[in-house]
Amino acid sequence: MNDVLNNCKLCPRNCSVNRNRGERGFCAAGSEMTIAKYYLHKWEEPCITGQNGSGTIFFSYCNLKCLFCQNYKISTLNYGIGISIEKFSDICLELQNRGATNINLVTPTHYVPLIIDGIKLAKEKGLIIPIVYNSSGYENVDTIKMLEGIVDIYLPDFKYYSDEYATKYSKCKNYFKYASLAIDEMVRQKGRCIFDKEGNMVSGVLVRHLLLPNMEEDSKKILKYLYEKYNDNIYISIMNQYTPVRKCKYDELNSKVEEDIYNDIIDYAWDIGIRNAFIQEDGAQSESFIPNFNVESLTE
């Protein structure tokens, strides 16, 4: 699978660089997996977190450059430590042994071939818990097809309906086009969501949408699109945890989403028929929800 990096087209940037020869594309990732943290994360949606927490692995670098990124230390400043496929497989098993509900791969797109090899190796060693693919949604369909039979739960973002916002805030053209096609493929692979007797998701697609300041109408368009397209075959997470973590050149991104705006979005979702959804209570807008990325220690 490593040969895919000889001409990297894993994401819609289609950089075509040879990462195995040290060339770097838009995301700036190299030829080995780089991670910034792994631990039992207890602040995901309840069906992902489970009782003990989601076995979350945060990958460094990113194929988006969101100005508001809460994890900018690893997505843009590229904090992290390189690991081998063998080490990755051992981390998956360590998380399973610690009681993780699943293995949660955060921002994994640019490492998909390496992850596939690592998951296969981990399964040979005894990994049995579900694999969660937690991504920005900015994906090539061919990359998602590579993951069929590997990933149990897809957890993509759906950030923008308008490409004007996508270009302005994430340096990304045609976000809606690529995200909608990718989610289509995810749903094709997984079908309706399946839960175990404890209420943990074991298979399916859960789409996240983070509300951004002054983008209420864009959010409504996304929710309407998702419900009309997939009805109750997917779950939707309507998130209100946007927290400015650094001064942004666009003033509108320097404030939180007002509570009445969020409530209006929830009312809208209910009115159009959405029932399979997660919402966030007051207090989600806090830097305490942002992991502490300390390269001196990858885990808690």
Instruction: Write phi, then psi, for 41 (nearest 5 degrees).
Output: -90, 125
Tokens in use for 262? 């969020």
Intra-chain end-to-end CA distance of the chain, in Å: 31
As assigned by CATH, the class of the 33-289 domain is alpha beta
For residue 284, the model assigns a pLDDT of: 54
Instruction: Write phi, then psi, for 153 (nearest 5 degrees).
Output: -130, 125
* C-alpha torsion 99→103→107→111, nearest 10: 130
Query: Are residues 139 and 182 in contact, defined by beta-carbon separation less than 8 angstroms?
Result: yes
Read off the pLDDT of residues 89-131 as tens digits, 9 standing for 90 and up.
999 999 999 999 999 999 999 999 999 999 999 999 999 999 9
Whether the pTM exceeds 0.85: the reply is: yes
Q: Which residues of the chain have pLDDT under 70?
A: 282-290, 294-297
Q: Any idea where the domains of the chain sit in the sequence?
A: 33-289
CA distance 235 to 207: 6
Handedness of CA 104, 80, 298, 288 (dihedral sign): negative
- Provide the phi-psi class of 265: left if phi over 0, else alpha when psi is between -120 and 50, else beta: alpha
For residue 96, the model assigns a pLDDT of: 98
Pick from 43, 39, 156: nearest CA to 92: 39
Tokens in use for 285? 């807008």
- Provide the phi-psi class of 263: left if phi over 0, else alpha when psi is between -120 and 50, else beta: alpha
CA distance 103 to 227: 27
Buried b / exposed e across 154-186, counting CB within 10 Å, b at 16+? bbbbbbbbeeebbeebbebeebbebbbbbbebb
CA distance 179 to 199: 27
